[in-house]
Chains A and B, each alone.
Chain A
Amino acid sequence: MGILEVKNVNKRFGGLQALGDVNLSVEENSVHAIIGPNGAGKSTLLNVLIGKLAPDTGSVLFDGQSVLGRKPYEINQMGISRVFQTPEIFGDLTVLENMMIPIFAKRDGAFRMRALESSVNEKEVLEQAGEMLESLNMADKRHFHSASMSRGDKRRLEIGMCLAQNPRLLLLDEPTAGMARADTNNTIDLLKQIHDERDITIAIIEHDMHVVFSLAQRITVLAQGSPLVEDTPDKIKGHPKVREAYLGESA
């Protein structure tokens, strides 16, 4: 039994079968990649996983509990954090504040009124945020206005914000899309380091095969809304069905 279990999920948009009988099991503490050509249903699947879309049928279990019907913030509180294709950070806030908010969310839950306490007196939150920035090598940027940073730094910060919550599952949606090679490699190294240092499961949806094969332990190939094969990277590389799905070659 994996930490994330997707069973018989179907989703139709009008006449289009976006997801057909998707079954997927993500092992705890693994790095699992979901790949597939454009329109294979990767984004739809992701949106189902984080509670943005409700599937027509099927179930999604995280650590034995259903995530269906829950709001995105509830799913996060269960231990799933999400990294977006374009970095979603609090652009108007400083880097340090960006890092404090997830720590508050972890400690105080989805809503807690702390209107008359002072942020600068929250010693332990500040300390944790500082440590996190330290480990991201961003401590010198703590008072930067976060919107003014480079895309690579924003991505780093976003991943750090997710990690600050100690999630059990980290979902990444094409984390290196639109990045320069150097930034891509930095991100790969960062994710490797995270996986080595922590008890964390990483599920990654990705286009870039370089990223996938550098990171993943298991790979699921989606095509036309259904899983085509699931295997280790080595087996996937030479798999005839995958070549067919990607290149249109007949097997």
Chain B
Amino acid sequence: MLGLNGRDTTLLVIVAALALLAPFILNPFPTDSGLAQFNAGYPDLMQRFAIFGIFVIGFNILFGLTGYLSFGHAAFLGVGSYAAVWIFKLFTYNVVPAILFSVVIGAIFALAIGFISLRRSGIYFSILTLAFAQMSFALAYSVLSNPKFNLTNGETGLQVYADDPQMFHGDHLPNLPHLFGLSMRANYEMSVGAWDFNFNAGYYVCAALLLIMFYLSMRIFRSPFGMMLRAIKSNQTRMTYTGLNARPYALAAFVISGMYAGLAGGLMAAVDPLAGAERMQWTASGEVVLMAILGGTGTLIGPILGAGFIKYFENIFSKINDNVLHGWFAFLPDGLEDFIVAILHPFIGKGWHLTLGILFMLVVIFLPGGLVEGGQRIGRLFRRKSGKDDAEKATQSTPAE
């Protein structure tokens, strides 16, 4: 289907089902129950899942296939956001032109930065992208927000003001980003028994784009172009002496991933019409690296899992505090309860980054294939067990024959 083989089609269908049914799947706990805080089915978080999913799928096309480790992809996300907000300010709140423009701007930036950075490989490349991203951050944060020429509005962040031109804005349209009149904040709440489910227009726009982008990345992975990108990672010497010019291939991958990042940035602005420089900081670039590695680079589904994992637990961990922990371990004797809570204390609440850092190190050290490899190993473990049973049966049956 759609030019995909059977397994890929299945994967696409699964991802589509997960994305479309996310409001149900992510809200498994009744609204009034104590576990409701582990629900993730509210619009803001679901949008972040989809947006970071797009961001990391694009990053994976570069890093997963070519092995070029960029530490500056947040820059493209940031310029995508600025581009979208400028469309809102100057022309219209309709998200379609804003998103298209953010993709174009992401591509232009990626082309310029990639053209220079890809003159070097290995760590030089990582450091160059890092330097470019930090420079873009500094430009956005201070250089381009002076009274003479205010492109980014500095620390405050770029937003839409009442006196902005908004040339094509009509009175009948919502005063917020919208899709041909459908406000991105439009929300339909469905109550079923003790459960509440949110269906949010902004989320579904993001989810639809996530699916399209996921599908495109599948096509790229399975294309001759994707094969060339893997050849870059595998052996550049052989590639060159096979008559292939590795640089335009790598640059094309870089620009494609920059467009994904620009799209993600545009979507961020579409669900919340604001663009700030902090989105471009190199720690934000680091976050997408974490997502890709944690999920499993070079695999199709891994990066999305990584993005979902990090965004979900970031959200949940920040809600857990000592009281919650005491609640969980109340069944233990008091001394032991206090002891366990004291041990866990550094890792919860604001300690999420510590947990994430440790988790990330463990994955890099022991599980270079990320969550996907972890899943495969567990799967193999089970299969080997059942395989052994089969073998035993086989040996047992031999004498009988």
A interface residues with partner B (beta carbon < 8 Å):
50, 71-74, 76-77, 81-82, 84, 88-93, 97, 100-102, 104-106, 108-111, 113-122, 158, 161, 165
Least CB distance, A76 to chain B, in whole angstroms? 4
Contacts of B220 in A (CB 8 A): 115-116
Chain B interface mostly: helix
Could you write out 30 A-B pairs with CB less than 8 Å apart?
A73-B240, A73-B244, A76-B240, A76-B242, A76-B243, A77-B243, A81-B241, A84-B241, A88-B237, A88-B238, A88-B241, A91-B234, A92-B230, A93-B227, A97-B230, A101-B227, A101-B231, A101-B239, A102-B242, A104-B227, A108-B224, A109-B243, A110-B243, A110-B244, A116-B219, A116-B223, A118-B3, A118-B222, A119-B227, A121-B3
Count of B interface residues, CB-CB < 8 Å: 30
Asked whether B195 is an interface residue with its Cβ less than 8 Å from the other chain, the reply is no
Asked whether B124 is an interface residue with its Cβ less than 8 Å from the other chain, the reply is no
A140-B226 Cα distance, complex, nearest whole Å: 25
Query: Of B234, B240, B248, B249, which one neighbours A90 at CB under 8 angstroms?
Result: B234
Least CB distance, B104 to chain A, in whole angstroms? 18
Indicate if the CB atoms of A161 and B242 lie closer than 8 Å.
yes
Query: Of A73, A93, A114, which one neighbours B224 at CB under 8 angstroms?
Result: A114
Indicate if the CB atoms of A90 and B225 lie closer than 8 Å.
no
A50-B234 Cα distance, complex, nearest whole Å: 21
B interface residues with partner A (beta carbon < 8 Å):
3, 5, 216, 219-220, 222-228, 230-231, 233-235, 237-245, 248-249, 252, 256
Indicate if the CB atoms of B243 and A100 lie closer than 8 Å.
no
Least CB distance, A89 to chain B, in whole angstroms? 6
A13-B234 Cα distance, complex, nearest whole Å: 32
Least CB distance, B252 to chain A, in whole angstroms? 6
Query: Of B219, B226, B242, which one neighbours A105 at CB under 8 angstroms?
Result: B242
Indicate if the CB atoms of A102 and B222 lie closer than 8 Å.
no
Indicate if the CB atoms of A92 and B245 lie closer than 8 Å.
no
Indicate if the CB atoms of B225 and A114 lie closer than 8 Å.
yes
Least CB distance, B67 to chain A, in whole angstroms? 9
Least CB distance, B23 to chain A, in whole angstroms? 32
Indicate if the CB atoms of B223 and A115 lie closer than 8 Å.
yes
User: In the complex, which residue of chain B has the Cβ closest to the Cβ of A117?
Assistant: B223
User: In the complex, which residue of chain A has the Cβ closest to the Cβ of B229?
Assistant: A115
User: In the complex, which residue of chain B has the Cβ closest to the Cβ of A114?
Assistant: B224
Query: Given the known A-B contacts A88-B237, A90-B231, A92-B233, are A165 and B226 also in contact in the complex, defined by CB atoms under 8 Å?
Result: no
Least CB distance, B298 to chain A, in whole angstroms? 9
User: In the complex, which residue of chain B has the Cβ closest to the Cβ of A91?
Assistant: B234
A114-B252 Cα distance, complex, nearest whole Å: 11
Indicate if the CB atoms of B224 and A72 lie closer than 8 Å.
no
User: In the complex, which residue of chain A has the Cβ closest to the Cβ of B222?
Assistant: A118
Query: Of A82, A90, A119, which one neighbours B223 at CB under 8 angstroms?
Result: A119
Contacts of B248 in A (CB 8 A): 111
Indicate if the CB atoms of A111 and B245 lie closer than 8 Å.
yes
Which of B237, B240, B241 has the most chain A CB atoms inside 10 A of its CB? B241
Contacts of B245 in A (CB 8 A): 71, 73, 110-111
Indicate if the CB atoms of B222 and A73 lie closer than 8 Å.
no
Indicate if the CB atoms of B242 and A93 lie closer than 8 Å.
no
